Amino acid sequence: MFIPRKILEDKLLQFLHEDVGQGDVTTAAVVPEELTVEAVVVAKDSGVIAGIEEASVLAEALGLEGETYVLDGTEVKKGETLLKLCGNAQTILVAERTLLNLLSRMSGIATKTRRIVQQLQGRKATSIVAATRKSAPGLLYFDKKAVIVGGGDPHRLHLDDMVLIKDNHIVLAGDVASAIKKAKAGTSFTKKVEVEVTKSADAVAAAKAGADIVMLDNFNPAQARQAVSALKRAGLRDKVILEASGGISEETLLDYASTGIDVLSLGELTHSVKAFNVSLEIIRVL
Amino acid sequence: MFIPRKILEDKLLQFLHEDVGQGDVTTAAVVPEELTVEAVVVAKDSGVIAGIEEASVLAEALGLEGETYVLDGTEVKKGETLLKLCGNAQTILVAERTLLNLLSRMSGIATKTRRIVQQLQGRKATSIVAATRKSAPGLLYFDKKAVIVGGGDPHRLHLDDMVLIKDNHIVLAGDVASAIKKAKAGTSFTKKVEVEVTKSADAVAAAKAGADIVMLDNFNPAQARQAVSALKRAGLRDKVILEASGGISEETLLDYASTGIDVLSLGELTHSVKAFNVSLEIIRVL
Amino acid sequence: MFIPRKILEDKLLQFLHEDVGQGDVTTAAVVPEELTVEAVVVAKDSGVIAGIEEASVLAEALGLEGETYVLDGTEVKKGETLLKLCGNAQTILVAERTLLNLLSRMSGIATKTRRIVQQLQGRKATSIVAATRKSAPGLLYFDKKAVIVGGGDPHRLHLDDMVLIKDNHIVLAGDVASAIKKAKAGTSFTKKVEVEVTKSADAVAAAKAGADIVMLDNFNPAQARQAVSALKRAGLRDKVILEASGGISEETLLDYASTGIDVLSLGELTHSVKAFNVSLEIIRVL
Amino acid sequence: MFIPRKILEDKLLQFLHEDVGQGDVTTAAVVPEELTVEAVVVAKDSGVIAGIEEASVLAEALGLEGETYVLDGTEVKKGETLLKLCGNAQTILVAERTLLNLLSRMSGIATKTRRIVQQLQGRKATSIVAATRKSAPGLLYFDKKAVIVGGGDPHRLHLDDMVLIKDNHIVLAGDVASAIKKAKAGTSFTKKVEVEVTKSADAVAAAKAGADIVMLDNFNPAQARQAVSALKRAGLRDKVILEASGGISEETLLDYASTGIDVLSLGELTHSVKAFNVSLEIIRVL
Amino acid sequence: MFIPRKILEDKLLQFLHEDVGQGDVTTAAVVPEELTVEAVVVAKDSGVIAGIEEASVLAEALGLEGETYVLDGTEVKKGETLLKLCGNAQTILVAERTLLNLLSRMSGIATKTRRIVQQLQGRKATSIVAATRKSAPGLLYFDKKAVIVGGGDPHRLHLDDMVLIKDNHIVLAGDVASAIKKAKAGTSFTKKVEVEVTKSADAVAAAKAGADIVMLDNFNPAQARQAVSALKRAGLRDKVILEASGGISEETLLDYASTGIDVLSLGELTHSVKAFNVSLEIIRVL
Amino acid sequence: MFIPRKILEDKLLQFLHEDVGQGDVTTAAVVPEELTVEAVVVAKDSGVIAGIEEASVLAEALGLEGETYVLDGTEVKKGETLLKLCGNAQTILVAERTLLNLLSRMSGIATKTRRIVQQLQGRKATSIVAATRKSAPGLLYFDKKAVIVGGGDPHRLHLDDMVLIKDNHIVLAGDVASAIKKAKAGTSFTKKVEVEVTKSADAVAAAKAGADIVMLDNFNPAQARQAVSALKRAGLRDKVILEASGGISEETLLDYASTGIDVLSLGELTHSVKAFNVSLEIIRVL
């Protein structure tokens, strides 16, 4: 997900614009216009940082000099300095909250994703940890990027990049097999076709019908194990990527991983983010 | 925070646009073009609903008929139907995730806010529960509105609507009293002036200097109590609204409330949202 | 009202874009492409300059070097040079009218505001001179800023930053007191509440009901004096800021000021602007 | 200048958006959500109305019913009702100021333009009254349209629709004749070429060089008369449209008209607008 | 590629806005304001129509009634009526060119695509005909949709929906195999990986390395045949989709198809469009 | 058609944004982040280059260094290097297709325009070659500019810059003469008035009624010659510019030119563009 800096800049300035409204009345009244200061952004939690690129692109777009002390993906301890900003004091203060809010959300996502990925790695599990489209509206790009920084898979980026046939689609298409048939006939050869199934038999039907990815929706670990067996019996296990989704949490993760599922996807990576605490402090007037 | 429907519509369509990209390839391939269906949005958690207005404005902007079963602010039980949508099947499916993501975030915020507000009311505490600007970038309006729906106070909406002098401002302005003096001289008479202080003496100095609101920053309950006493001794308690911020959680809330602080503000209302689970199901082909 | 330069730049470029259309056909045909010139912006009137920041931000956004000879707020005499621009001749000529139009409007507003403020100061009157929301559509930020540069108070910036209950609101809310009660219950503690009244008795009622600011709407000076007395008799004069609005002009200003009203607001500061004449001249080919 | 309603709508909603910010806090707190009311927009001055189309397009875009009592261009007396609005009370109140501000500016422009046009017609003068590009930034369309409604000529709409060679262009092109030569060679045959001259000899040179329109810049009436004679002597008077610009006011207008100049253009039509007073009153709760 | 009507509407209105500028001066002067007319859009060529949906969405967005006589994908003869519009005459005339330009381009693309597809079908060839990203800037959505309407495959929609490793990427990644390895490690499991190769050996290497699709870049039919054989010999033919690109035209198409290549992609489908002639005629004043 | 670089930049970045979507997944996975490379854009056809300014403005907006080897309007041979880019490898690759697509379209237009212009010049014909508004939606500016670069006349830029009365307008206005009368009365003196006629008699009527330009619509060369004679007989040939439009192609061009028509306009210059082949190659890692 490489995006040119200039386009990223525009997205970030829109966020800032929303927060500024008609102008920052506090800074205008309290802070001298021509003051140059140095400020640092400091971690108030321990975890994995994401959003450093965004923070420095925003800072530089505003004419500030940014020096980064960590890269996106770095694990930091509470108290570490992440970024130093140098420039006009009013500008730093007006951008502070927008910059911190994004850094805080993205690092929260990356920290949780990494923790889950490492849990699996600790057990030598090879399942991929993936996000879903359950993101905050308007923040798809940033939420997905934070998942990647944390070591997860972003899954589908939006509605145009793969076919994902869900329960409601199947209801309207008739059954799993006809839905897949329609999808393959009606979509570009450049797309993978994934289908969500609710029982083992449908997983087998989906693989037979040529799905590239089969998503076991709300299967418990035992049911998932059955589905894997059914596919193996049918000689179709290698034909598909198996994904489990729904009800997977940090507690149940290892149980799911042990079933041999290829991908474990968790909506909570992006829909229930715990903010990573960061703060900005002015440390020097130049 | 009344916003004309047409302007709200534009914000919601921008969210949808981001998710659609170049078009929904699944729906195009799998769902017939001219199908009319009925779908319901159902609560999968119990709590307070927010975002129903947004959901129905988005639906109607897309040419769907929406019938709401609950109002924003209604407490619902898991399983209750919130909204019925009727219209073109492809349109419903393309909007599903954007609609649910917003409803889920806003209801998550409202549910938590209401729980905290009720905790205080249960103890007859009169403190106001307030949000901060620690919101998701781009979602200020929606996050603040969800707090209001939950019974909380949105606090400042963005940087232009009140003066809020924080630690970094004070560093640059000299001290609390001169910061307030500058703020009052340099801002419209239409704005309230709030100042963040880190010790009791400064709370008194701020009240003397004419602050409308004094925020006790990271005071523990005991320190907050001392600040209240100091202000009373100086005969200034009635001159200011007292707000506590920093480190307040559901656990410590009642301790803070018992100190007689007027406003308790919690960043976590908007920075660490737990999604409220909702789903959309097609129930009938018309 | 501090706004980051980059966001200001975007607003200014939008104005330019509107004027350019599909391109400046005159400059393209008549002026050589690679010519570098020096141009000056000169005052053709005497008065107070506002918009110099905007002019130089626009110029620099377009790759021109700008050297300012005056600051926003400086009083200049007819004939003084305000700004020197150096750079590509086609670019200077394409931006000329947009730059001058804004400078001319903002300086017109600042000049009138300053004249009124000085009239009051000449009589030792302490009333604040304030603007209203009667601005040109799309120019709220620039009109308000010009008022500030002239020494006036911008008043409310838009509809979200304070409560201002006007005649139509009162009609729908019942009476002054219930409108204020609803406002205080239904709005954040961070907002001031102002109410517009049409008779002395309502001014007293408003102060009793807890309004922060009471606006005497279309009171003549004698009526305003009565309202002040009525509030004093009720012991409420110190509880509220008193504002007079409607029918105040440069002629009647001092009469109003003599009544002890705190704020005098004049729609004509922004709704009937007399342009301050400025022109741009190319003085040297480099 | 016909513009499709839908595009006009977007421009008007942008103005409203700027004024609304994060939402109207007054209306939200004080006015019941589901109230339907009737309101009228009333003239508080006498003059020519412009902006009625804009007002009703904005109203209808917001879901209000609008009934117009006058057309753009109608002369009204103080006290006349211009427009009746019917619909949601909150929506009417949130749009009130944006709607009135535009109507007030446009009617102010139309009123002045009509007065000047009628002054000429009263003396049987046939000169056209024209505007300039000295408009408020962002309001070119609305300012020009108001001039047309008043009976004036909008002149150039922006930089792409005709060639207008001004003093600074001539400085860079060498002289009047070479500037015109370059313009004719370097521009589409679909454009007229106008040139600004500062002395009679240049008016003749311009006509010889093939200019379609010659603008006498800051000529007094006597000098203008000389220029007309010089052109006649050279047999070129019929080859060009003659325009006078600079220093023309309501006082000197007839003197200029008597010289036989075809077009009189006045910057003050749009750069120094006197607002036409209008107000909105809720008259009935339905 | 299903896109909600409301989002399509916005794209179309932007096109119209560009063409309208400050307003249609011809229509405003020549056509009465309140005239209702009926107009038809007629084919002036024979071929496959695409853009009918766009035309009617634009028309209805502008308040016109549209009645379509053909669907997207219909083959028409010169002279057939495609669409009837009914509504305000000025509105129809202002939209005429934008509507026709899009219909003309999209039908041009669809007509050529269909002709090529039918050429293959005539010979029982099963190769898919695909487009490339060589589209007109800003028209990706419309160009791709026209290809689909014509019976072709849109291929990649933009840069985010699949991995396509081209010559320049391989230069920087080292070789085909390492590029694929990096792609598979660094991209979501939801994406297919395609790689462009310039010789048979690399086609085999690519298939071995796990590419989903192998693009033979500028292979002539004989070379393509060799590549197919090489893959067969290596037992890898069934593992990959084979695409040929570069130098394929209507003349050489069948030669390529006879090699057994799965996909034939042609840049000229969208980069060198021959307009399909359509015109709009007003047929009745109502 | 001079447009400030900054405004051009915004248009180009919008095109890029459309192509990037949520990010370039290939480049992100395959190309190292911090790599600096040199790339060249090379002509793969012979012809006239247009779009070099656009290419270098886009490149520089993205932080790349661009060195141009040719100017817009230069005739190049297949194989010539047009532009060298130096900078971040990922950035170059993400912009490659947008940059080439625009260059390719614009050079295609310029090449064809120049060929036609030179055909006329070879025969000493003085007719102007002009474009129409039959352009790709959203690309008016770029298509018109490419025509100019090729030596043609852009004709009307959009709907606001001249009056062009077409068949449908005449139907609604009554006849040619009344349409022109309405146009002259209802439009600014700054606009030329052109009218489309379908028979000689109307050409004469149009010239009599004061049209500046008369367009012979779908006249064959013989009919065009008759129209010229009719105008001469009526002594009106010198009063109007004569344009022929409809059915003019490279084959019939010289026949039309020989009739003495002033302007020959061809829709195919912009509606049926043959792409000029260009490619980008990375030549060096720095």
CATH code of A74's domain: 3.90.1170.20
What pLDDT shows up at residue C1? 80
Q: What percentage of chain C exceeds 90 in pLDDT?
A: 98
Over residues A63-106, the pLDDT tens digits come to: 999 999 999 999 999 999 999 999 999 999 999 999 999 999 99
C155 has a chain A CB within 8 A of its CB: no
What pLDDT shows up at residue E1? 79
What pLDDT shows up at residue D1? 79
A21 has a chain D CB within 8 A of its CB: yes
| DSSP calls for F103-124 | HHHHHHHHHHHHHHHHHHHHTT
User: Are B135 and B99 within one domain?
Assistant: no
B261 has a chain A CB within 8 A of its CB: no
Alpha-carbon distance D105 to nearest alpha carbon in chain A (angstroms): 22
Among candidates D96, D94, D54, which has minimal Cα distance to D71?
D54
Whether residue A235 is predicted with pLDDT greater than 90 in this model: the reply is yes
D161 has a chain F CB within 8 A of its CB: yes
Whether residue D56 is predicted with pLDDT greater than 90 in this model: the reply is yes
Q: Which residues of A are tagged catalytic?
A: 97, 134, 166, 194, 217
Q: Say which residues have a Cβ less than 8 Å from residue C251's Cβ, sequence separation at least 6.
A: none
Whether residue B1 is predicted with pLDDT greater than 90 in this model: the reply is no
Contact F2 C90 (CB under 8 A): yes
Over residues B16-46, the pLDDT tens digits come to: 999 999 999 999 999 999 999 999 999 999 9
User: Are F145 and F87 within one domain?
Assistant: no
Alpha-carbon distance F187 to nearest alpha carbon in chain D (angstroms): 8
Edge-to-edge strand ranges of the sheet holding F65-68: F65-68, F81-88, F36-43, F278-285
In chain A, the residue whose alpha carbon lies closest to the alpha carbon of D23 is: A21
Start-to-end C-alpha separation, chain E: 38
What pLDDT shows up at residue E106? 98
Cβ-Cβ pairs closer than 8 A, B with E, add up to 49
At A216, is the secondary structure helix, strand, or coil? strand
Among candidates C5, C63, C12, B134, which has minimal Cα distance to A64?
C5
Whether residue F160 is predicted with pLDDT greater than 90 in this model: the reply is yes
Alpha-carbon distance F260 to nearest alpha carbon in chain E (angstroms): 27
Q: What percentage of chain E exceeds 90 in pLDDT?
A: 97
Over residues E169-217, the pLDDT tens digits come to: 999 999 999 999 999 999 999 999 999 999 999 999 999 999 999 999 9
User: Are D53 and D94 within one domain?
Assistant: yes
Over residues F54-113, the pLDDT tens digits come to: 999 999 999 999 999 999 999 999 999 999 999 999 999 999 999 999 999 999 999 999
User: Are B47 and B76 within one domain?
Assistant: yes
Q: Are the C-beta atoms of residues F89 and F282 closer than 8 Å to each other?
A: yes
Q: Is B232 a catalytic residue?
A: no
Of all helices (H) and strands (E), which one includes residue B113? helix B89-122
Residues of chain B with Cβ-Cβ distance to C156 below 8 Å are 188, 190
User: Are D125 and D264 within one domain?
Assistant: yes
What pLDDT shows up at residue A26? 97
**What is the bridge-based pairing of β-strands E81-88 and E65-68?**
antiparallel
What pLDDT shows up at residue C103? 98
Whether residue E247 is predicted with pLDDT greater than 90 in this model: the reply is no
CATH code of F185's domain: 3.20.20.70
Beta bridge partners of B153: B130
Q: Tokens standing for F78? A: 């297949």
Q: Say which residues have a Cβ less than 8 Å from residue C42's Cβ, sequence separation at least 6.
A: C79, C80, C81, C82, C278, C279, C280, C281
What pLDDT shows up at residue B247? 84
Whether residue D185 is predicted with pLDDT greater than 90 in this model: the reply is yes
Mean pLDDT of E234-258: 95
F174 has a chain E CB within 8 A of its CB: no
What pLDDT shows up at residue E155? 98
C13 has a chain B CB within 8 A of its CB: no
Q: Say which residues have a Cβ less than 8 Å from residue B207's Cβ, sequence separation at least 6.
A: B214, B231, B234, B236, B239, B240
Q: Tokens standing for A112? A: 């949780």
B21 has a chain F CB within 8 A of its CB: yes
Distances (CA, A) of E126 to A185, E145, E146, E256, E262: 13, 21, 21, 11, 7
User: Are D90 and D206 within one domain?
Assistant: no
Q: Are the C-beta atoms of residues A197 and A240 closer than 8 Å to each other?
A: no
Nearest beta carbon to residue B161 from set C160, C194, C263: C160
User: Are B217 and B170 within one domain?
Assistant: yes
Nearest beta carbon to residue D138 from set C30, C108, C138: C138
User: Are E109 and E46 within one domain?
Assistant: yes
Whether residue A247 is predicted with pLDDT greater than 90 in this model: the reply is no
Query: What are the counts of helices (DSSP H) followed by strands (DSSP E) for chain C?
Result: 11, 12
F242 has a chain E CB within 8 A of its CB: no
83-142 of C, contacting F, C-beta below 8 A: 90-91, 94-95
In the complex, which subunits touch D with 3 or more CB pairs below 8 angstroms? A, B, C, E, F
Over residues C76-98, the pLDDT tens digits come to: 999 999 999 999 999 999 999 99
Phi, psi of B186 (to 5 degrees): -105, 10
Nearest beta carbon to residue B186 from set A29, A105, A168: A29
Contact A24 C3 (CB under 8 A): yes
| DSSP calls for A101-116 | HHHHHHHHHHHHHHHH
Q: Say which residues have a Cβ less than 8 Å from residue D21's Cβ, sequence separation at least 6.
A: A21, A22, B157, B158, B160, B161, C157, C158, C159, C160, C161
Residues of chain A with Cβ-Cβ distance to F22 below 8 Å are 1, 3, 140-141, 144, 157-158, 161
- In one-letter notation, the amino acid at residue E26 is T
62-91 of E, contacting D, C-beta below 8 A: 62-63, 90-91
Mean pLDDT of chain B: 97
What pLDDT shows up at residue C247? 84
Residue of C22, C58, C94, C97 best to disrupt the F interface, most CBs of F under 10 A? C22
Mean pLDDT of chain F: 97
User: Are A142 and A251 within one domain?
Assistant: yes
Residues of chain F with Cβ-Cβ distance to D213 below 8 Å are 189-190
Contact B20 E3 (CB under 8 A): yes
C23 has a chain E CB within 8 A of its CB: no
Contact C2 A63 (CB under 8 A): no
Cβ-Cβ pairs closer than 8 A, A with E, add up to 60
Alpha-carbon distance A187 to nearest alpha carbon in chain E (angstroms): 8
Q: Tokens standing for F84? A: 């060298």
Q: Is B194 a catalytic residue?
A: yes
Q: Is F238 a catalytic residue?
A: no
Contact A272 B275 (CB under 8 A): yes
Whether residue A241 is predicted with pLDDT greater than 90 in this model: the reply is yes
Q: Which of A50-64, A101-115, D244-258, F88-102 has the lowest mean pLDDT?
A: D244-258
Domain coverage including residue C158? 118-271
CA–CA separation, A231 and A245 (whole Å): 18
Nearest beta carbon to residue F2 from set C13, C63, C94: C94
What pLDDT shows up at residue F1? 79
Domain total for chain B?
A: 2
C4 has a chain A CB within 8 A of its CB: yes
Q: Which of C245-259, C265-279, F146-160 has the lowest mean pLDDT?
A: C245-259
Mean pLDDT of A159-163: 96
User: Are F209 and F226 within one domain?
Assistant: yes
D190 has a chain B CB within 8 A of its CB: no
User: Are D146 and D186 within one domain?
Assistant: yes
What pLDDT shows up at residue D247? 84
Over residues C200-251, the pLDDT tens digits come to: 999 999 999 999 999 999 999 999 999 999 999 999 999 999 999 998 999 9
Residues of chain C with Cβ-Cβ distance to F3 below 8 Å are 20, 22-24, 94
Over residues F5-46, the pLDDT tens digits come to: 999 999 999 999 999 999 999 999 999 999 999 999 999 999
CA–CA separation, F11 and A92 (whole Å): 29
Q: Between vectors from CA E50 to CA E48 and to CA E52, what angle results, nearest 5°?
A: 125
Residue of A153, A164, A188 best to disrupt the E interface, most CBs of E under 10 A? A188
Alpha-carbon distance B124 to nearest alpha carbon in chain A (angstroms): 30
Residues of chain A with Cβ-Cβ distance to C158 below 8 Å are 21-22
In chain B, the residue whose alpha carbon lies closest to the alpha carbon of C130 is: B188
CA atoms within 13 A on the CB side of E144: 24
Contact B1 D28 (CB under 8 A): yes
Beta bridge partners of E263: E128, E243
Q: Say which residues have a Cβ less than 8 Å from residue B11's Cβ, sequence separation at least 6.
A: B141
Residue B68 confidence class, pLDDT cut points 50, 70, 90: very high
Contact A1 F16 (CB under 8 A): no
User: Are D253 and D201 within one domain?
Assistant: yes
Contact C2 A28 (CB under 8 A): yes
